[in-house]
């Protein structure tokens, strides 16, 4: 089974340092997506939001709870 999936759009509210009504759309982008920026601008938070949406937990919360992956 060759399963291919893409995240075209996701949204979240009040997640970590982000406030209300955050929408990220990648539906018009083909290929690899790079999340870049200077330190402390929320790059990891975007990845954490995706992990939380998919798995109900993040690497940050797993580490803080002392759980192993």
pLDDT digits (tens, 9 = 90+) for 24-47: 888 887 777 788 889 888 788 888
Please tell me the distance from the alpha carbon of residue 42 to that of residue 48, in angstroms, as a whole number.
10
Which pTM does this prediction carry? 0.67
pLDDT above 80: residue 65: no
Q: How many Å apart are CA 60 and CA 54, to the nearest integer?
A: 15
What is the pLDDT, as a whole number, of residue 44? Answer: 85
Q: 33 vs 52, which has greater pLDDT?
A: 52
The C-alpha atoms of residue 32 and residue 8 are separated, in whole angstroms, by 13
pLDDT of residue 43: 86
pLDDT at res. 58: 85
Collapsing DSSP states into helix, strand and coil, what is residue 11? strand
């Amino acid at each position: 089974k060759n399963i291919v999936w893409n995240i075209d759009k996701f949204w979240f509210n009040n997640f970590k340092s982000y406030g209300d009504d955050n929408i990220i759309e990648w539906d018009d982008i083909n290929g690899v997506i790079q999340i870049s920026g200077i330190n402390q601008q929320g790059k990891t938070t975007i990845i954490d939001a995706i992990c939380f949406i998919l798995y109900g937990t993040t690497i940050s919360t797993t580490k803080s709870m002392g759980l192993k992956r």
